[in-house]
């Protein structure tokens, strides 16, 4: 049985101090017309135990939303959103449910940023990495240093961020809808040399939902989930190079070899939590060399990516899928693509877990 | 009390000593005491104690503010290649952050990681300091 995305919705990624986890979840479900009559809900969320002292979040969301349907929560760090889509498509493929809603929701502004940073760092191994002073921007910095050594310029990473901010200006639910200049990097707060705040994702609350159906007929638009795959990589400290994103590279190479996917020709959302990662990935796939020509990658992260649309950790993957779905079926105001194929890539940490989805417009 | 005593006690060998896992199947060595080879999945492994001496291969000066890390900023986190050939990531202390260099020879040293303020449990573990330098932080 095949699975089709038949609708979706997204709340603006932002500091939603007025909304809780369940408020955001209800808000996005209410605005998703295609999400009605779901037989199952899969909730993607990474941090509710830490941020809101809440276990079994899925059940409490479903009760709050007044829907008496089975629910399960999926957590796989930053890649929770795509992991939830994997579970949802399995429910459809197995015949367990004919319609499944995937709901990504995350609150990251319940505490001051330095406390949220601590919670976010727990996507790494607490005993082997976090206690030893390692945090996500540390790995990003080590990766950037490696890429600088092979010949990339510092401006390459800045240009990624500039492009993401420009893309986000046209996306209604993006968090940072303003342009930045390469010069602004000189003033940016340093997180871990040479990585600055401008190389990092925007941390915001968010909720996004997509409706998956076994049957595309009867819906205005539909996008088929053609293929999905995931891999677990080696811990970054155990690789020859931190910037060696083996799991992600393998998955995207598989898409190229099995389905002929060329990232220069399809709509693609790449996980760009820190600027070195998409650059490392595009380099290892052979789409760029150290001159860092990004102009051919016209349809990459039209959403603004994690960098500028924002990164509500466990919900981000659902945003990515919603965005590709929208782009393949008409686009956002002023942003459209001719491509019928889309790719979503997500990872947790520096390629600890990596996931890809291949989507194709059905109608 | 926010910190768990049993959790820390369980991993004491990896925190107070530098234990390596050598795979008898593929021959690769990984850091920390593991039941399974990180690279090939073999359970035919032996555990060895590292000398705790290595060379800084890469490093970053860290300003990233996190709960409980404030008194360690700015700090240095380095990739250290141990004399046994395996890499490990850890903090470098006992030296000014601007003086850490690639190629610097360092040795493991026991230092405070985190504590339950103000009178709670204190977790200790290994960091690195320059070899032949006795200053502490």
Within 10 angstroms of residue A95's Cβ, the number of other Cβ atoms is 9
Class of domain A4-112+205-213: alpha beta
Q: Is A115 on the interface with B (CB under 8 A)?
A: yes
- Round the average pLDDT of chain A to a whole number and report it: 97
Residues of chain B with C-beta less than 8 angstroms from the C-beta of A145: 58, 60
Tens of pLDDT, residues A299-308: 999 999 999 9
Each residue's pLDDT tens digit, A197-230? 999 999 999 999 999 999 999 999 999 999 999 9
CA–CA separation, A66 and A72 (whole Å):
16
Minimum mean pLDDT range among A53-57, A246-250, B65-69: B65-69
Omega of the bond leading into A194 within 30 degrees of 0 (cis):
yes
Does B1 have pLDDT greater than 70?
A: no
Residues of A in Cβ contact (< 8 Å) with B65: 113-114, 117
Q: Region A55-83: what's the mean pLDDT? A: 97
Mean pLDDT of A61-74: 96
Of A175 and B136, the structure prediction assigns the larger pLDDT to A175
Between B120 and A276, the higher pLDDT residue: A276
Q: What CATH number should be reported for the domain whose range is A137-196+226-361?
A: 3.40.47.10
Q: What is the pLDDT of residues B14-48, one digit of tens each?
A: 899 999 999 999 999 999 999 999 999 999 999 99
Give the model confidence (pLDDT) of A22-34 as tens digits: 999 999 999 999 9
Read off the pLDDT band of B114 (50, 70, 90). Answer: confident
The rounded mean pLDDT for chain B is: 91
Numbered ranges of CATH 3.40.47.10 in chain A: 4-112+205-213, 137-196+226-361
Please compute, for residue A93, the number of CA atoms within 13 A of its CA located in the half-sphere on the CB side.
Answer: 11
- Quote the pLDDT of residue A245: 98
**Contact at CB, B60 and A132, closer than 8 angstroms:** no
ipTM above 0.85 for this complex: yes
Q: What count of Cα atoms within 13 Å lies in the side-chain half-sphere of residue A131? A: 23
pLDDT tens-digit profile of B68-97?
766 778 999 999 999 999 999 999 999 999
Chain A: residue whose CA lies nearest to B63? A191
Name the minimum distance, in Å, from the CA of B132 to any CA of chain A: 22
Check pLDDT > 60 for residue B136. no
Task: Quote the tokens at residue A326.
Answer: 């929208």
Domain ranges of chain B: 5-130
With helix as H, strand as E and coil as C, how does A160-219 read?
A: HHHHHHHHHCCCCCCCCCCCCCHHHHHHCCEEECCEEHHHECCCCEEEEEEEEECCCCCC
Find, among B135, B62, B56, B131, the residue nearest to B100 by Cα: B56
Per-residue model confidence (pLDDT) at position A216? 95
Q: Which of B39, B66, B114 lies closest to A114 in CB terms?
A: B66
């Amino acid at each position: 049985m095949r699975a089709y995305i038949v609708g979706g919705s997204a709340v603006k990624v932002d500091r939603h101090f007025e909304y809780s986890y369940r408020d955001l979840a209800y808000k996005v479900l209410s605005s998703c017309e295609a999400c009605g009559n779901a037989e199952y809900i899969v909730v993607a969320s990474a941090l509710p135990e830490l941020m809101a002292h809440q276990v079994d979040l899925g059940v409490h969301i479903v009760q709050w939303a007044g829907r008496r349907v089975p629910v399960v929560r999926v957590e796989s760090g930053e890649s929770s959103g795509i992991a939830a889509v994997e579970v949802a498509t399995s429910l459809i493929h197995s015949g367990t449910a004919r319609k499944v809603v995937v709901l990504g929701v995350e609150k990251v502004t319940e505490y001051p940023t330095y406390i949220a940073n601590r919670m976010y760092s727990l996507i790494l191994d607490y005993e082997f990495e976090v206690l030893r002073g390692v945090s996500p921007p540390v790995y990003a910095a080590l990766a950037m240093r490696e890429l600088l050594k092979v010949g990339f310029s510092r401006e390459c990473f800045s240009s990624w961020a500039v492009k993401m901010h420009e893309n986000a200006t046209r996306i209604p639910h993006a968090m940072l809808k303003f342009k930045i200049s390469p010069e602004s990097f000189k003033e940016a707060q340093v997180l871990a040399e040479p990585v600055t705040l401008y190389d990092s994702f925007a941390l915001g609350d968010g909720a996004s939902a997509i409706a998956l159906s076994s049957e595309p007929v009867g819906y205005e638009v539909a996008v088929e989930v053609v293929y999905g795959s995931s891999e677990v990589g080696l811990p970054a400290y155990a690789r020859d190079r931190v910037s060696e994103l083996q799991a992600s590279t393998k998955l995207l190479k598989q898409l190229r070899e099995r389905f002929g996917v060329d990232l220069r020709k399809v709509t693609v959302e790449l996980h760009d939590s820190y600027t070195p990662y998409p650059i490392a990935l595009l380099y290892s796939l052979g789409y760029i060399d150290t001159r860092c020509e990004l102009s051919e990658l016209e349809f990459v992260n039209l959403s603004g990516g994690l960098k500028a649309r924002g990164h509500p950790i466990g919900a981000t993957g659902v945003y990515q899928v919603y965005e590709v779905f929208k782009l393949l079926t008409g686009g956002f105001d002023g942003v459209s693509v001719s491509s019928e194929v889309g790719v979503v890539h997500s990872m947790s940490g520096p390629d600890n877990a990596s996931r890809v989805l291949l989507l194709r417009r059905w109608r | 009390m926010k910190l768990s005593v049993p959790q820390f006690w369980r991993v004491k060998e990896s925190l107070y000593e530098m234990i390596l896992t050598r795979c008898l199947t593929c021959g690769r060595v990984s850091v920390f005491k593991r039941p399974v080879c990180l690279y090939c999945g073999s359970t035919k492994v032996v555990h060895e104690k590292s000398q705790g001496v290595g060379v800084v291969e890469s490093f970053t000066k860290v300003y990233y503010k996190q709960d409980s890390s404030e008194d360690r900023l700015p700090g240095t986190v380095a990739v250290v290649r141990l004399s046994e050939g395996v890499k490990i990531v850890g903090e470098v202390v006992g030296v000014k952050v601007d003086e850490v260099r690639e190629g610097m020879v360092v040795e493991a040293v026991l230092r405070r990681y985190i504590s339950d303020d103000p009178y709670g449990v204190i977790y200790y573990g290994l960091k690195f300091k320059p070899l032949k330098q006795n200053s502490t932080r």
